[in-house]
Amino acid sequence: MGTKKKSIHHINYLCLILFLSACSILQEKKEEVIIEEDSGRMFAYGICIDSLQMNQYVINQGDNLASILLRLGFNNNKSEQIIKTITPLYPPSGLRIGHGYAALSTPDSLATIQYLVFEKSKTDFVVVDLRSDSLTAYASKKPVTLKRCYIEQDITSSLWNAIVHSGSSPLLALKISDLYAWQIDFFDVKEGDSFRLIYDEAWIDDTIFVDIADICGALFRHQGKEYMAIPFVQDSIREYFDAEGNSLRKEFLKAPLDFYRISSRFSNARFHPVLKRYRPHHGVDYAAPTGTPVRTIGDGVVIVKAYEGGGAGNYLKIKHNGSYTTTYMHLSRFANGIQKGSHVKQGEVIGYVGSTGLSTGPHLDFRVHKNDQPINPLKMEAPPSLPVKPELMDSFIVERNNVLQLMDSLKQNS
């Protein structure tokens, strides 16, 4: 598949994620409140609503807590009291467009509001009890249930298409790419690859999808090689290991961006699109929209933060250990708090894609040096972190075999 076609798949994937996220918000406003029956009584947000009227709303562009309270009919003094009460649990800056809130009132002509509910997420919410002059607030959660799922798919074009074709949530593609971030370059997934997966979905009241809660085991076949992912607890930490007990978590991520195409590869003689001559290009260019987050591929220290007008533009250089440094070029801007000397963690956002410096369009020029010599980032090998301890290997093998057996049983029942 050509890079143009792959780019279209990746862009379509991201557009669908945004579309589904928006749709899920709209759907949640219809079904967000769990109505529970208990001996004939009705509950929402854990509150008995038999004698209450509930009105639901959505936070829109330009809304803030003060304007919301004014719209609900509270005077300035009462609004200040409510804001002071809720702030320790839900600061006003935490309000997000699309989140829901509700007012539970008496059903009489006065319609006095007894409770205010603000949703922090699909599952978490904060209740303000207004029934007395001494206001109180508390945080709670909607009950979540887990559904065990199994998927087995051949890839004919892209991981995203395979997930959509299966009927699973497209969010699963992100989970898979995170799981195998150190083993598989998802810019290079193609026809002939396949995967098997056990995972848990989180649901509210069996009607509102929340998230992919957990990957319980996976087997990904990529370019003729099998990559197993078995969850196992060692030293009180749950990690994923391959079939031999090596950790999937490696020293470096495969790529500093998610799901965007490679526009130029490592070369000793590339024709420069601006200078119109051949010269070495000791990096990989990732074409992506301006503002796309750029992540460091490993833990390290920022040793250069600078601007180079006739070349790299805004760029960062990170030293990871005694051997490796990475460079991130043509950034539109740096992430907040990133300075020379900053300690960064693997996967941390350090900047955003741009077209500063000598550039024909928005992209990230990513470079890796080992012992001060440029190396091809796409061929860089990184050692695994600590494997399963010898004394735990028997337990790990049992767990590995259990996962494979469970896959087989779920396949037969699917």
Of 49-63, 128-142, 256-270, 388-402, the range with the lowest mean pLDDT is: 256-270
Domain residue ranges in the chain:
35-141, 144-250+387-414, 262-379
The fold for domain 262-379 equals Glucose Permease (Domain IIA) (2.70.70)
CATH architecture of 144-250+387-414: Roll (3.10)
pLDDT tens per residue across span 110-139: 789 999 999 999 899 999 999 998 999 999
Other CB atoms closer than 10 Å to residue 185's CB: what's the count? 15
Q: Is 315 or 1 the better-scoring residue by pLDDT?
A: 315
Are 180 and 227 in contact by the 8 Å Cβ rule? The answer is: yes
Give the pLDDT score at 386. Answer: 83
Mean pLDDT of 255-268: 69
In the chain, what percentage of residues exceed pLDDT 70? Answer: 84
Is the pTM higher than 0.85?
Answer: no
Give the pLDDT score at 22. Answer: 40
CATH architecture of 35-141: Roll (3.10)
Query: 35-141 and 144-250+387-414 share one CATH topology?
Result: yes
Give the pLDDT score at 320. Answer: 87
Phi-psi category of residue 97: left, alpha or beta, with phi > 0 → left and psi -120 to 50 → alpha: beta
pLDDT tens per residue across span 206-240: 888 999 999 999 999 998 899 999 999 998 889 99
**270: β partners:** 279
In the chain, what percentage of residues exceed pLDDT 90? Answer: 51
Residues whose CB is less than 8 angstroms from the CB of residue 370 and which lie 6 or more positions away in sequence, other chains included: 323, 324, 380
